[in-house]
Structure 1
Amino acid sequence: MIIPKLPTVHLDTTLADLYRENGITGSFIVTMYCVFGHMDLHASFPRELVWPEDEEPVPYSDDPAEQDRLRKVILGLKPLRRAWGLGNMEVLFFGPNITAKGARAALSQLPLNQRHIPRMVDLNKGLVSEQLRGMTTTTVGERKKKLLFWRPQGWMKEQDCLIDPQEAYDINSKKYLVTSNMRTPPSIIVDLQTADLSSSSSSSLFHTRTVPFVVKLCRAGCGFGTYLVRSEEERHATLSALARYQRQGVGEVLVSDYVDLVEDLAVHFVVGAPGTTHDRTNPLILGVTIQTLTAGGKWVGGHIDYSAQSRLHAYVRETLRDTTRKLPASFVGWAGIDIVTDKRGRQFVVDLNARFTGSMPICFMSGHFWKRRGLPLAQFAAFEYEACHVDDIYERLDSLVQSGAIVVTATATIREGREGSHMADIVWGGRDQGDLARVEREIRDRLGKKPEIPLPEVAE
């Protein structure tokens, strides 16, 4: 199938431009993959044993078919959608799940000066670590490329990274919220391995603490590994989950006060190089998005109100500055924090994502949706659809795409065949919340019956 010519999407800026403007220099090469501690992504891309998470960003399944599907999502859709907005940076993509043709479709929508540069690594040609040894260096006389990553992985030890992988691993732990004295809800660190979870008569804090309270794994994102204990039923479910983590060897968990929140905001920002205008004492805010959570507290996306950004920036600025001052002096680059506000107006930082965030692309699209089309709101989500070919989506959504009301930022095949299964990441604009919901329904109607498949970011 021939993909129709797609409208050009002019981003407000790109990450490469922001880094250059804020003193973060270098020739960068980027990897946007997560890896898992419980399964290999590929024979050449083994599970993570050096810097594993306590819980993965997608729930673990013992079903081999579901594991295979997950590998295709992680190696196919996710890195493509995260690369949107990187700008003039090299980006590592791992074939055969991603092809040069597949990457071109998304890139063709961006002006030449806002496109990233795909670098394909063929997983069928040997171990990732061996193939990458020569990919982060240039010819004699040029600067060595610096590696930017979403989550630290063992093979990165040998790379020249902008952020030290061990430091990244440490500060992205929720334990850092407490040890750095950030404005997080009152919390304590509990040794899970010594906790008695087996008996209802146990004197452990998990049995005796009065509800409501919150239990969080230190190394998990998107609400996975977070348990809201607001009733005895939820206490029982939490104890059951903690017993599983205890058997898996998880060492510590965070127990914190429950915040009956009024607002849940994600702040996306850049920390410039030390001594620049927007260093860690005065970070540059790029967007404040409103989080979408399930009743159980799991992150499934969010939206942005471009018309409210000036007010929201001022609203979160003090809390953000307090947070970034407590980051290591060596930290620079894109990051995000989640802020909740209680009924007394107090702001608390409940998560630090010292890395790329899942909402980064929509922070760069105010010109496309609001200034050019009068759509002050934008939202994004992953959609699954059945079709003979992955590119059928452009025919089904043609009028929406051509009008600029929606932007397809990534597509990937999850299951081959005449009735194959595919996924797409889509951003769409709206005049108000009702309009956002209407456009989403229209997208789903045109793509078929498939419900949204939540693809949370560890993240962002």
Structure 2
Amino acid sequence: MGSIDPPPIKLPSIKLDTTLAELYKRASPKTAGLRLGLASCGVTSAVDLTPDFQRNSRYPYQDQALIKVPRRQLTLDNTNLRKSIAKKYLSLIPQRDAFIAGAMPVILFNLGQSPKQIEHDRREAETTISVLDCAQRPDLIFCPGPIKIPLQPEQDHGHGIDKLDYKVVLDGLEANQDRLTRDLETHWFLNSKAALARSGLPTPRSEILETEGVPPEDPESCCRVCAAAASSSSSPGSAAELPLFPAKCTGPRGRWLAAQKDRILSAARARPVPFVFKTQQAFGGAGTWLVRTAEQKSALLAELAGDDSDNDDDDGVLGKLLAQVTSSNAHLGPATVLLSELVGADGDGKTVVGDYGLTFVVTDRDDEADGGAAHFLAASEQNTDGSNAWIGSTISYPRQEQLRRKFEGLMRQTAAWLARYGYIGPVGVDVLEVKKSGSGQGETEFFIVDLNARISGSMSLPLLRGHFVGRGLTCASSVSIVAKGGRAGFIQRWRKPFEEGRMLILSWYEDPEAGESIAEVVIGGENEERLQELVQRVRENIEEVTL
């Protein structure tokens, strides 16, 4: 007797409360008549993701790969690493943003160049957005890399994009600077840690350590060791993605590197615990160390200097940062680092009573209907792993009006600072709420510990409010996962929650060769207890993704 196939799964149609396209029009009525496109992806300065999507070198970012992966593994030959990062940055993140984009062109980048790979990329993204209400589906445009975005008339093929917005600064976007919604250097600056520290916004006190001067860029004129290393790295099959100052360099490059490392390491050694060490331009929760104990401080110093490696040419996190300073980007301070107070640490007199991910849109209008220069979207709780890497967010819908009132002043203050530099668009701010020292009335104050002038990972949650609340689900959580098998099998496993609309896929990329998929799923619950029960059941059967 043959088996009976289960009946087809009928997924509910999803209608967002609003979309990025609508929020952009509301934020800037002056440009509401333009056809705005969006280029969404992650960014790394560690390694080329594909031949057409090269690592950032002019505008460095410090993601998990650059911070955590030993230099010797950051090569063109390391195809497994490159593929792993590309799946996150060129599929997981772009699909997630495309899901909430609405009726606008969204640029996505191919993970591979073969017709089969290109078709696979398209099919995965189109399947993800197919559950959306037809009027809210974006126009997906695939291209090989940033420099090949079809913005020129001869390349446009009828897309009709007037201006292009983007999530993160990409070196390849410079070719289309006149078609972008904002200046690349200014946007990179606004997302830097030093800019936040100097902004005047309420943020932890920081000591800012900047590099001095610029290293000589020609290895051939530095010393024999550098010349030999440059010759070796240019040979086929051994191309290193990151610039390298060899450990045995006897020339000016090595002396510059040693001087900069010594200044930073000396400052970190002299800093009493607890403190926070930050790199200038982090992505995905990387580049931040919370140092609470002497043991953690020793581990940080070893990681920064490369003392925890058995490779002579592995000069640690600082070596990788400093080698990216060039004459073209030195004015940006790409290797600047910060030593900050750790808010809420024992003995600092501050008690943390709330930890929020605040999401809003900066507007260029200031009227009562729009709530001023900041349009509130949500305040959610961010979920991180043991390394401080972001793995998802949780939102309580009934609390949002109360939280909007709580953060109204901070939003306006932050939006005013960003607007001074011409920034209009989505913002994500990590905020600690702290009980004021000596306050017997429960008075609190806020500290901004991170500011991202871009689409945040949790931005989908407020836009799905109607979908969940209409089903009696008062809270929701996003979870980034690695699941065995493909999309169909995962949906079948969790069939009932999917058919009820309490579970939905924001992003999904199946890797047939690996037999697994990388995805982001949103889960709703009647209350936080029921939500966490379902989230925990899902987590027991998957691995969590860190960006």
Partner Cα separation in structure 2 for residue 110 and residue 154 of structure 1? 32
Q: How does 1:408-427 map to 2 (within 5 A)?
A: 408-416=505-513, 420-427=515-522
1:148 is aligned to 165
Cα separation, 2, equivalents of 1:304 and 1:382: 15
Contact 2:355 2:432 in 1 (8 A): yes
Partner of residue 84 from structure 1, selected from 83, 99, 108: 99
- Superposed CA deviations along residues 37-92 of structure 1, whole A, max 9, x for unmatched, are 12111112111112111344785532642332222232222211221111011111
In the alignment, which residue of structure 1 is the partner of 2:41?
A: 33
- 2:48–2:82 CA contact under 8 A, matched in 1: no
Q: 2:318 aligns with which of 243, 246, 252?
A: 246
- Choose 169-178 or 289-298, whichever is displaced more: 289-298
1:108 aligns with 2:130: yes
1:405 to 497, 502, 513: 502
Query: Percent of aligned pairs with the same residue?
Result: 27
Cα–Cα, structure 1 residues 116 and 276, in superposed 2: closer, same or farther, change >3 Å?
farther
How many Å apart are 1:171 and its aligned residue? 0.5
The answer to whether the Cα contact below 8 Å between 1:31 and 1:148 also exists between their aligned partners in 2 is yes
| Amino acid paired to 1:220 | A
1:315 to 406, 417, 421: 406
- Decide whether the 8 Å contact of 1:136 with 1:147 is kept in 2: no
Q: Specify every segment of 5 or more residues in structure 1 that has no aligned partner in the other structure, as ranges.
A: 456-460
* TM-score, length of structure 1 as denominator length: 0.87
Cα distance change, pair 386–222 in 1 and its aligned pair in 2 (3 A): closer
The 1-side partners of 2:319 and 2:282 are apart by 17
Matched, 1:119 2:141: yes
Q: Give deviations 1:100-155, integer Å, cap 9, x for gaps.
A: 3222222221111111111122x3xxx65145343798689x97521111111122
Name the CA distance, whole Å, in 2 between partners of 1:75 and 1:3.
Answer: 30
Aligned partner of 1:377 in structure 2 is 475
* Selected match of 1:7 from 8, 12, 17: 12
In 2, the alpha carbon distance for the partners of 1:295 and 1:444 equals: 15
The answer to which of 153-162 and 94-103 deviates more is 94-103
Give the drift of 1:312: 0.7
CA contact (8 A) 2:40 2:97 kept: yes
How many Å apart are 1:235 and its aligned residue? 0.7
Matching residue of 2:491: 394
Shift of 1:231: 0.7
Contact 2:92 2:508 in 1 (8 A): yes
1-structure distance, mates of 2:481, 2:131: 20
Alpha carbons 1:136, 1:145 under 8 Å: kept: no
Taking a change above 3 Å as real, the CA distance of residues 191 and 240 of structure 1, as seen in their structure-2 partners, is farther
Distance 1:412 1:307 in 2: 33
Aligned twin of 2:451: 352
Q: Deviations over 1:149-197 (max 9, x none)?
A: 1111122112211121111101100111122211111112013664665
* Alignment length (residue pairs): 440
Alignment equivalent of 1:325, drawn from 387, 412, 416: 416
Q: 1:265 aligns with which of 356, 372, 383?
A: 356
Look up the match of 1:132.
150
Distance in structure 2 (CA, Å) of the matches to 1:137 and 1:281: 39
Deviations 1:309-356 (A, max 9, x none): 011111111112112211243110111211112232220111111111
Distance between the aligned counterparts of 1:293 and 1:257, measured in 2? 20
- Across the aligned residues of Structure 1 and Structure 2, the Cα RMSD in angstroms comes to 2.8
Shift of 1:392: 2.1
The higher radius of gyration belongs to 2
Residues in 2 aligned to 1:338 and 1:3: alpha-carbon distance in whole angstroms = 42
Amino acid at match of 1:45: F
In structure 1, give the amino acid aligned to 2:361: V
Partner of 2:417, secondary structure, is coil
Comparing 288-297 with 392-401, which one deviates more in the overlay? 288-297
3-state SS, counterpart of residue 544 of structure 2: coil
> Which whole-Å CA distance do the structure 2 matches of 1:222 and 1:238 have between them?
19
What is the alpha-carbon distance in structure 2 between the residues aligned to residue 442 and residue 230 of structure 1? Answer: 32
> Judging changes above 3 Å, is the alpha-carbon distance between structure 1 residues 212 and 401 closer, same or farther for their aligned structure 2 residues?
same
Judging changes above 3 Å, is the alpha-carbon distance between structure 1 residues 249 and 319 closer, same or farther for their aligned structure 2 residues? same
The match for 2:23 is: 18
User: Which residue in the other structure is 1:94 paired with?
Assistant: 109
Secondary structure at 1:132 match in 2: coil
Q: Hey, what's the Cα distance between the residues in 1 that align with 2:134 and 2:56?
A: 36
1:458 corresponds in structure 2 to none
Structure number with higher helix proportion: 2
Q: Residue by residue, what CA displacement relative to the aligned partner does 1:405-448 show, whole Å, maximum 9, x if unpaired?
A: 1111221123426xx11122110111233212211233346xxx
